[in-house]
Amino acid sequence: MSSLQVAFLLGIILLVAFLVGWWLFSTFLATKEEFSRVYPISAYVDARGNFLICVLNAGPHDFYGRWLVSTKSGRSVEIVLNAPVGVITTVRGSLGEEFVPGTSPTLILVTGGGRGYTLNPIVVVDISAVKC
């Protein structure tokens, strides 16, 4: 085999390796972006510590996962989220901590992928009257 043939074969091998690497990298980025498109849009807490979080799934697929909602005092609750694409989903739960109506405490929401959100929900008298 001449040196020209070896150089041509090496060039093809490098091109294929580059294309496979680019495909793997773009697949990784698309997977990471999928989880970042599920995010909270509003949150409410009542005086007894019950909460309501409105979540939007912008796609590209339906989402099913577990999130963790925590207060600054250290109490936390795990919630299960099932969010279809393009629909605002309601998540309800209880933190077991009392809040003063009219205030805005800080809640920390951590997704299953490790992304964190700081929420400042509105404290209402009764959460059952609130809808997303």
> Mind listing the pLDDT tens digit of every residue in the chain (132 residues)?
788 888 899 999 999 999 888 888 877 765 555 455 788 888 999 988 899 999 998 877 788 888 889 888 888 899 988 888 888 999 999 988 888 888 888 888 887 777 788 888 989 888 888 888
In sequence order, what are the beta bridge partners of 107? 71, 119
Global pTM reads 0.68
Rounded distance between C-alpha atoms, residue 121 and residue 93, angstroms: 13
In sequence order, what are the beta bridge partners of 116? 110
